[in-house]
Each structure stands twice: as structure tokens, then as C-alpha cells.
Amino acid sequence: MPPIRNLAFVVNESKTGAPELAEALMALAREAGVNVKRANTHPVADDFLAGQDACCVIGGDGTLLGIAAQAARTQVPIIGVNRGSLGFLTTFSAEDIRECFPTLLSGDFQIAHRALLACSTGAGPDDLALNDVLIKAKVNSRIVSLEVTADGELVTDYDCDGLIFATATGSTAYNLSAGGPLIHPSAEVIALTPICPHTLSNRSIILRAGVELVVRNIHRESTLLVTVDGQRDYPVSNREPITISLASERLPLVQRRDYAHFSVVRSKLNWSGGVATRARA
């Protein structure tokens, strides 16, 4: 990859150690002749990534999700540094990034292109989701009755607490907590997972790339709330369809050349059966 010459920083200052780490990395970047800019407030300006070669996000996955749509639209690669909890998206630890930062600045890294969801909420704006689109009742205590079609064919009607539409990347987020499947991040599919469905046989469905999903509210007296990546909320009136599909854009995500997906999954989810277990066998 070409060397990084213009680098934006998005820093979540509420995370322990994030401001100090940002200062240290910005100093290293300046020493290497890189132009830097920094945002500490969220959301960032709509043109924050204009002219940037990469964006270093220091915080948790939520911080990265806040800049993901803009990064996808501008095709600015994201370097995610974890100062939160799980950190499936922010794959660099503070120790990792201090060690390999000069190498990254020189262009020695690989880019994973992650699929996103395109979501349209009728009169509302179109939006992109890296992890998921959640549809539920605007009043949290109410269940929803939702009709889902795929390319015009009825899938089924759901009576449930809500529906999660997740990308492969987002399969380790809310989808996993709701009993949905883990999906390899290179798979360009959509996972549809109902939350607490009233029909016990309602389970997750994996839908192909290219499908157009339309969700309609069956109970017209209720108002729905569409939440994109846990960041942006869109109230939807009872007559507006919600359309979801895989987006044409892909998010460029910076990874070390030795990045191994299942190593990350084993570590984050505390799976057994790793190298140490095999060595004892």
C-alpha cells in the first residue's frame, strides 16, 4: 500500500488512556512527516475525512461505528485501536499499535473490505450500517408485528421484540447476543435474527447478496424505530416500508499482514481448544 501522508484521528476521550495514546501516535506521525488532524467530539463533521489517506480511531467499536459510514463513502481506510471492551472492529491493542505504527505509516498493511447494509426508511435519509439495522417499537415495552419480504416474496410475519438485520461483520454483535449465528466477515450475506419471537420455530435466516428486504408494520397504530449501528435512530410512521440490502460501498479496514480472524474470535469469546489445548493432547 502507498505510505500514509495525511492521517485523521478520531479519539474517544472518555476511554481510559485514549487521549494519551492519541498524543503519542500523533507525535510519531509528525516525526515521520505525516500531516495529522484530530476530532474529539462525536459525530464528526460530514467532510472530516476529505483528503485523508487513513483514519486512526482510538476508542471502542462504538467509536469506530460512528465514523464507518463516512469512511465507506470516501474509501478512507480505518485503523481501529481498542480502548474499550471486546473490540472486534478495533483490532489493534494499545501495545500492538505502538509497536507497528511506523510500519503502518509506511504502507505495510493489508485492507479488508467489509460489507455494509444500505437502509432506507421511507421519508427518512438513506444510511449505511457496518454492524446491523435494528427494528423495534418506538415504545420499548411493546412487541412488534412485522411482515418481511425478500425480493417481493413473503418470508413470514414476526411477532417479537424486534428484528436484527446484521452483516457478517455485525454477526458478533447484537445478532450473537440474540442467538444468531457467527459468520465469517468475508461472507457477503445478511443475517435476519428475531428478538424473543413469539413463535419458537422462528430462527435466524441467512440471506444471499443481492436480495432486497422490505419490512412493513402490520399493526398500523404503532410507530417503529429503526436504529443503525446503535448510532442513529429513525422513527418510521406506520405506513412507511423499510428497505434493507447489501450496500454497493465496502468499508476499508486496516489489518496487520498476520491478522487471523479465528484467533481474534477465540480470544474475544474465550473459546477453548487453542494451541495450548492441542499441545497437551
Instruction: Report the catalytic residues.
Output: 61
The three-state (H, E, C) secondary structure of the chain, written as one string = CCCCCEEEEEECCCCCCHHHHHHHHHHHHHHCCCEEEEECCCCCCCCCCCCCCEEEEEECHHHHHHHHHHHHHHCCCEEEEECCCCCCCCCECHHHHHHHHHHHHCCCCEEEEEEEEEEECCCCCCEEECCEEEEEECCCCCCEEEEEEECCEEEEEEEECEEEEECCHHHHCHHHHCCCCCCCCCCCCEEEEEECCCCCCCCCEEECCCCCEEEEECCCCCCEEEEECCCEEEEECCCCCEEEEEEEEEEEEEECCCCCHHHHHHHHCCCCCCHHHHHHC
